[in-house]
Amino acid sequence: MMKQFYFVLSILIVVGILTGCGPVYKREYAFVPPRTGMGKMCIAQCVQNKNTCEQMCQMNNENCRLRAHQDAVYQFEMYKHERRKHGAPVKKDVSDFDMSYTCNHSCNCEPTYRSCYSACGGQVLERDVCVAFCDKK
């Protein structure tokens, strides 16, 4: 009886959450280049800076993953040593110590790029586009 109560309660909570969701929007950007040659050269520098930012971020994330894997190997070896020292079975493997999932840091290069683009005389147009629950307006 109690199981049925919790099941029905769970269903009601899920339905309530889903019906309470309003539309979900995503911000999109459109770029209008400047008219002058100097402005266009300036924007080329913005693009290069954005690419450098993204490459550095990816390299930092990759280095983080490498360090995390090295730490996991070290921690696993310590764990394995301790378990064997006490005659206990080794039940874990390296993946149990791997924290590389924490290394997916957002690069966040876009806001700087948009500011640079505007500073060069270009226009950054933004609009919100509905991506989910669009009929719930």
Among 102, 109, 118, 125, smallest CA distance to 34 is for: 118
Output the pTM of the full model.
0.69
Give me 43's structure tokens. Answer: 């924007």
The per-residue pLDDT for 6 is: 65
User: How confident is the model over 92-113, as a mean pLDDT?
Assistant: 95
**How many Å apart are CA 37 and CA 44, to the nearest integer?**
11
How high does pLDDT run on average in the chain? 90
What share of the chain has pLDDT > 70, as a percent?
Answer: 85
User: Do you know the residue count of the chain?
Assistant: 137
Q: Which residues contact 100 (CB under 8 A, 6 or more apart)?
A: 64, 65, 68, 69, 72
User: How confident is the model over 111-127, as a mean pLDDT?
Assistant: 97
pLDDT digits (tens, 9 = 90+) for 24-50: 999 999 999 999 999 999 999 999 999
